[in-house]
Amino acid sequence: MNSFELNKIIGAILGTLLFVMGVGFVAEAIYAPIEGRGPGYTLPEPEDGHSAEPAAPEAPAVSLGVLLASAVPEQGANAVRKCQSCHNFGEGGANKQGPALYGVVGRVIGSHENFAYSDAMRAHQAAGDIWTYEYLYAFLAAPKAVVPGTKMTFAGVKSPEERANILAYLATLSPGPVPFPPVEDESPAEGAEGPEPVPADAGAVATPTTTHSETPGEGTPTTSGTGGTDTPAATEAPAQ
């Protein structure tokens, strides 16, 4: 190979490099970001009452006693199918991602054995708070609004009738169902924190206002009474 051919090869290489560099400079000049034009479009602030925080459950249009008196446990059993991936409803069932729920009504909050509860649930356990029908009703509507800090990620059940059906079904998961609240009692308004939990020594052992059987023939509470019972529950509430 003589020097003339070598010069042609070197010149071709240098020409290619210069071409690539030139294309890069041109592209950078065309697509360079434009700065200094001031702030962009400012998103409007959310209006009052429309924050991203979970909404607090609304008070039922009718009393909880009335809702439970007309509730259908079979429909509640169908409604909790969406919960079966996280909770066990059978007697003696093991914990899953959430605690087992047999005997939850009337049980001390956060007290199911062998389950790692959140600090918020353990605080309720330390206070001796009880899963009453009223508190369960509020919790099922918006778990994170009623118990801030709970591990439960479920968004909640918005339909009052569906919640009442679920409570009626949960009431059957016990050898001695807790009586429903009296029909004549008005359900308390449920604020962001939900109804006040009932301490274990202040309402868990209450005397029903009417005579009833500890274990109704059909397995579903049908008589009026207070929200307490002298039959201890066996498992944990639908929470983590």
CB 129 within 8 A of CB 200: yes
Report the C-alpha gap between 171 and 176 in whole angstroms: 9
Does residue 114 form part of some domain? yes
What is the average per-residue pLDDT within 97-113? 93
Does residue 227 form part of some domain? no
Does residue 149 form part of some domain? yes
Report the C-alpha gap between 102 and 117 in whole angstroms: 17
Tens digits of residue pLDDT in 150-196: 988 888 999 999 999 999 999 999 999 999 998 864 444 444 455 66
Number of folded domains that form the chain: 1
Tens digits of residue pLDDT in 121-140: 999 999 999 999 999 999 99
pTM attached to this predicted model = 0.55
Report the C-alpha gap between 138 and 34 in whole angstroms: 53
For position 222, what pLDDT does the model report?
Answer: 40
| 147 vs 34: which has the higher pLDDT | 147
Q: Which residues is 198 bridged to in the sheet?
A: 130
For position 187, what pLDDT does the model report?
Answer: 43
Between strands 198-199 and 129-130, the pairing is antiparallel
Does residue 79 form part of some domain? yes
Does residue 29 form part of some domain? no
Does residue 47 form part of some domain? no
Tens digits of residue pLDDT in 38-88: 555 556 665 544 444 444 445 556 789 999 999 999 999 999 998 999 999
Does residue 52 form part of some domain? no
Residue environment code for 64-73, b if the CB has 16+ CB neighbours within 10 A, otherwise e: bbbbbbebeb
Q: Amino acid identity of 179?
A: P
Does residue 179 form part of some domain? yes
Tens digits of residue pLDDT in 3-49: 778 888 888 898 898 888 888 888 777 776 666 555 555 566 655 44
* Sign of torsion over alpha carbons 98, 103, 108, 113: negative
- Of 234, 239, 228, the C-alpha closest to 102 is 234
Range of the domain at 196: 64-203
pLDDT at 208 > cutoff 50: no
DSSP 8-state code for residue 91? T
* Sign of torsion over alpha carbons 60, 62, 63, 65: negative
- Of 188, 190, 177, the C-alpha closest to 225 is 177
129: helix, strand or coil: strand
- Give the domain CATH number at 155: 1.10.760.10
